[in-house]
Amino acid sequence: MTPVQLKFARFKSGPLGRTIDTILGLALIWWGSSLSSLFKDLALVIGIFALLAGVLNVCWVAPIIGIPFRGKDIPKED
C-alpha cells in the first residue's frame, strides 16, 4: 500500500471520515425521497451504501483502490 493509499484509508476509517459518510448517506436518502423515478432509486441506493459505510466502518471501493475493506484491518500509525 502506498503512503497516499494508507493516508486515505486512515482518514476514511477515522471519526471524521465515518461521520462524513454517515451524514452524506442520510442527506442522500432525504434528498432522494423527494425525487421521482430513476433518480430517486439511485440516490436512495447510494445513500444507503454511504450510510452503511459510515456505520459499519467499511469502504466499498477498497478492492478497486487497493486498501483494506474493513477499517480495523488498516495498519495503525507508528
pLDDT in tens, 59-78: 989 889 988 999 888 888 76
What was the pLDDT predicted at 19?
95
Question: pLDDT tens for residues 10-47?
Answer: 999 999 999 999 999 999 999 999 988 888 989 999 99
Q: How high is the pLDDT of residue 39? A: 87
Judge contact between 64 and 14, C-beta under 8 A.
no
Closest CA to 44 of 62, 52, 32, 54: 32
pTM of the model: 0.83
pLDDT of residue 78: 66
Position 56 scores a pLDDT of 94
Q: Do residues 6 and 65 make contact, with C-beta atoms less than 8 angstroms apart? A: no
